[in-house]
Structure formats: C-alpha cells, structure tokens
Amino acid sequence: MKNLAALFLCLVPGIFASAQRCGTDEFIREWQSQHPENQQEHEQYINALSQINHPGKNLQKKAEILTIPVVFHVVHNYGSENISKAQILEQLEILNQDFRRRNADTSITRDIFKDRAVDTEIEFRLANIDPKGNCTDGITRTASDLTYGGDEAVKKLVGWDYRKYLNVWVIHHIGMKTENGIVAGYSRFPYQTSSLQDGIVIDHRYVGKSGTSNATVAGRTLTHEIGHWLGLLHPFQSGCGTDNCEDSGDMICDTPPVDGPSFGCPLGNNTCDNDSKDEPDMVENFMDYANGSCQNMFTQGQKEVMRHFLSEWIYRGANVSESNLASVGAFRSEACAPVADFNTHDAVNHVCPGQSLTFKDYSWNGNITAYEWTFEGGSPATSVSSQPVIAYSIPGNYKVTLKVTNDQGTSSLTKESFITVIPSGGVWASPFEEDFDGIYSKDLWQGETNGKYGWRLKTDAAYSGKTSMVCFIDNDIEEGTTFNLYSPYFNLSKHLDLSPILSMRTAYSLRKSGTGEKLNVYATSDCGHTWRLLKTFVGATTLYSKSDYNPAWLPETSDDWKVLEVPLDRFDLDKQNEVRLRLEFVSGPGGNEVFIDDINVDQFALSEHTEERLAKPTIWPNPSSGQLSIQNPTNLSGQLTIYDVTGQLITTQTLAPSSVSSHVLPGSGVYVVHTTLGDHFFTERVIVTQ
C-alpha cells in the first residue's frame, strides 16, 4: 500500500493546453512534509479506505439523502474572476446532477459499468445564514490581489466554520504549478481538516460551463475535488498494484485500477491487465482525468466511501447533521440585504482635470432597488444611477461613497482618496532621472503584480546604486501575460524643441531559444484614456543583453546591461505637459525576467553626449527641516519653481549665476523642485520633516 506522500501529480489537458486539472496530490505531498505529526490521522484514513468496501460486502442498500451546505468565497480584483451568481448556481446544479446521477450524459456510460454507476444520495445547497447569524445567499466577495495565485493565503481573508460549511474559494488562478501546466483546483482530504484551511480552491475558469468557464469543462472539476474532500482517491493513485483490489488504484474494488491519468476520452484503454477482472479503464469516472464531457459516474464503492466520511468522520459528519442544516439555513431561501461595493469601469481611478469616469456597482448578497452615490470633488456630486458618469475638474484626491438598499436592508461603503485628479502641467519636468534608490521611487512608479509575478523593486541587482526595477516571470506563467509599469506624469512642453529621448538601462537574457519576451513602450497625454505605442523591443533581437540562455538570471556586472532608447519628439501630443509612459512586459514561451535601471528623460540618451550634459544644481539638505539651500554651479541665469506633490505652486524665484540661495518650505511633506538653467531642466524630490 503506497503512502500518499509519494503520490505523483494530477495532470490533464483541459480547456488550456497542457493544463493540470487537480493539484490535490501535490498539495498532500507538501502538507505531509510539513506536518509529519499527522501521520496517525493519515494511517487511519488509509485503513478506513481499505475496510469500507471489499468483495462480498453488501453495498446495495438505499440510504437517506445527505445534504452538504456550501459557501462560495469569490476572491477577486474586479476582473473576470468575479464570476456571476448565475455561473455559481449553474455549478451547484451540476454538482447535484452528478452526485444524484441525474446528469443528462448518463446514457453514454458503457454497458460494462452501468450496473455500478449510482446515485450517491448526496446533495448540495447554498447556505442562507452566515456564521454571525446574518442572511446570506451563500456567496461572499472579497477584493484582493491574492486572487492571483494566493492559494492557501486566500483562506486567511475569508473562511467560515469548517464544521458547518463546505468552503469553496474561487480565484483568478492557482499559483501551485508544475512544469506540465496550470492547476485548476485542489482539495483537502477528511484527515487534513483544520479550522482555517479546510475546503476547496478552484480557478474561476473551471466553475460551471458558461460565463468565464467553457462548455468542454462541463463543470466536472468541482465534482472531482469534492470527491477528494469526501475521501476519494484517483483510480490511478496506486497504479496497477496487485490483483488485490484493496491495494490497487483507488483501493475501491468496483473501480478498475488505472496505470496513469486518462486524457481526452480514451474508451479503448486498458492500462492494467493484472486486476482480477482485467477490465478496461473506467474513463467515465469523475475521479479520473478524462475530459469533463467524458466523465459521468461515481460507483457504488465510491458512494460508500464518501458517505462513510460524511457519517463517521467527526468533522465531515457535523456538516450534514440536521441541527447544522437548520443553523446555516440550508433549506431556507430568504432574500438578503445587499453588501455595497463598487469600482470604476476598467479600474481606472485617475483623470486629468475636466475628464470623466464611469463608476460600476459591484454590490452583492441581495438584489438592489435603490442607489445613492456621493462624489467628493465630482460633478454631479450625487447620483441614483447604477452606473453614473462623473466629471472632475480640480486636482486632488477624493473619496466616493455608495449606499445600496432593498426591502431587506441597507449597506454603505466609502473609499477614501479613491479618485486622483492629476495636476495640469505634470509635476515632473524633463530632464528626469530615476535610479530607483529613492525612498519614494515605489510611489512614483506604479507596477502591476499578479501574485509573485510582476513589477517590484529589487535590491540585489542594479547598474547604479543598489536597486533596480524588475518584472519577475518564469516558465510557469501563461504565455502572453502582460505586466505594466506606469511612470509619473511629465511636462515635456519646454523640451520638445530639444528632441527629448526616453532611455533606460535593461538587463535580460532568454531562458531558451525562441522569440522570448517583449517590452512595449507606450505614452499617453490624456491621463491614460488613450495610449500610443512608441516602440517594441523583442527578446531575441533588440531586448536581450546576454546572448546565452540563462534561466532565473541575475545581472552581475555592468556588461550585463544595455541601453534602450525611445525618441519622444515624434510623439504627436495634444498636451505635452501631461505625458505618462507605460512599459508593458509581455511573457513569451520561455519566461525570464527583465531588469530596468537609470530611466532617463532628457535631450540626451544615456549612451550619448555625456560630455554635453550640464552640471545640475545641488540641493541640500535632503531630507530637510524646512530650510533649503540651492547652488547654481553654472554661469547661466536660471529659474527655480517649487511645488508640493499635489501640484500646488509654492514659490518661483530667480537663480543667479554661480550662486547659492536659501529657501524656506512651509511644512512637512514631499516637494518637487524644478530648476531651469538655459535650455536645461532638472527635477528633484525633497523631503521635509519638522
């Protein structure tokens, strides 16, 4: 009999190429390595499997219907993973059809297995009462970027009492991966029960068979994972084993052992010839890996295993007790008060003065009969629409409040500083330099992340200083995934006659042969409402700085970096004083990160005309207590302009040639100092602490 810690992975091609349907085996292996103290519970589980059913035992008795109360926790970031209630209800109906053998495809079960295909007499209902006694529709919605591969971490965000509910967490994608593909779902077995982690995690693309899912999945992924949650193994779990059915396959005697996972719908397969009946593989079984449209049955032996753990195993048994079903409202269907939530359309929450934003209602838990919006700084300032369009004219940060109502109650949500109106003129004038060593670099440059992937500062790989910006990806991430890095807003209006150039140092090496990743450079002059592609750098031709193949590569010397240049003078800008750049990194078939350092917006590129660069003014102390000194090291007259970070003008003064001047700043905060010397412009951040 094999120990579960040594089980192989669950692989299957689903709606995505080389996808992995079930990550339960991988999860068990990792869990057991971390919890060796639970070996006794594991052995009890294995013993229960081997004793529940065996040849000669009467398994054909009719049983009472056991009902499992379910709650779906949708963890989302206002994207496609925030699936509809209709998609969840469709999945619930599929579960009830599959477990009661009322699914429409029972007719395709082959004759050799029809007498073993059974109604498990197990049903599922959405809870109608939450752990606090409040009305619920059995669905919660939580906004978090943990939806991107958060896996076990999402359970710390939201989870209900495991003794009362079956928790199902729906997320954008599961971070657990193998070199063979993605994981569609995974479950805990009965002996792994814990108050914080019991339940099932599933990729939203495998919930139901419509909406964000696909008809070929047929909603069978959750049927499969609930089978695990109720104690079932894969029919290939122990391989062909021996002619003893209790030590082969899934240790259930009426499911033929299978040598390995079944992919597609291979009805002619018979991968084990040492089982006592030498039967073909039961690819129809929900616990194998055949296509969802091929799966259609549980066996009588599997029914006995699942019902054993529901009735005899203490934690599972509590779920289906009459007292628990009453306490969670499993047979109640009352309407509930709504829970308010909202975002902007396309999740854009910044505008230029005079622009408008469309707001979208994401409230849940109950149908809404009335909306009351309040928009600080917006016009109109209030709305009763479900999707209002609001204009903003004055720079600043503004809160938004939504109140939703129905006959059952009211809910209100306020998001502070939710909308940012960008100051006209852009705070940052060129020339601009960013080496990512400043304490405010991470605030100026906004990078998209997706779990462990995406843009972040890195302190052990830089061309200058100690820090660079890296977009981390690897060969596990889906090809074509994009991550954007957004710059602050620039004022180029005084610099266009000098042909401004965006230049930056990059370090990148391909993981393997092929085109590699792409880095697209975009610009906008209308606060992101429209973007223009300026240039594309391709990994295998114009992006790479190291020619050999280096998986998980780190640049170590200056020779590992190169300079990329993008002319900005040909960018036909409507407003040259409100320019924002976007660096879009696109994953390729290999998957390797790119490092960026020393971003520069100037009339000169990093690699050219260094002798022509004008000495920049010296500003000290920084940080400052409020008294600032500025030295003009040139023989040119200049102009000094100081703003706060909201774009509010603080002072404008003349800089005399070869002089030092003093200036007093009004209070604590971050200030932006612009200096103009001849045709050259400089920008620096100053921190004041008082």
Q: Report how far residue 66's alpha carbon sits from residue 149's, in angstroms, rounded to the nearest whole number.
A: 33
Asked whether 614 and 634 are in contact (CB, 8 A), the reply is yes
User: Cα–Cα distance between 486 and 351 in angstroms, integer?
Assistant: 14
Contact status, residue 20 vs residue 10, Cβ threshold 8 Å = yes
Q: What is the DSSP letter of 235?
A: T
CA atoms within 13 A on the CB side of 113: 26
Three-state secondary structure readout of 330-388: CCCCCCCCCECCEEEHHHCCEECCCCEEEEEECCECCCCCEEEEEECCEECCEECCCCC
The C-alpha atoms of residue 299 and residue 254 are separated, in whole angstroms, by 7
Contact 220/298 with Cβ under 8 angstroms? no
Name the DSSP letter for residue 318: H
Closest to 430 in 3D by CA, of 595, 615, 576: 576
Rounded CA-CA distance 669/28 in Å is 51
Tell me the residue length of the chain: 690
Alpha carbon dihedral 580, 566, 599, 468, in 10-degree steps, equals 110
Alpha helices, DSSP H, located in 22-61: 24-34, 39-52
Q: How far apart are CA 127 and CA 334, in angstroms?
A: 11
Q: For residue 363, what are its two tokens? A: 């409230």
Active site residues: 225
Three-class DSSP labels, 464-497: CCCCEEEEECCCCCCCCCEEEEEEEEEECCCCHH
β-sheet with 409-421: strand ranges across: 350-351, 409-421, 396-406, 370-375, 382-383
Return the residue matching tokens 């003093």: 662
Torsion angles phi and psi, residue 33, rounded to 5: -65, -25
Indicate if the alpha-carbon torsion angle 242, 244, 247, 252 is positive or negative.
positive
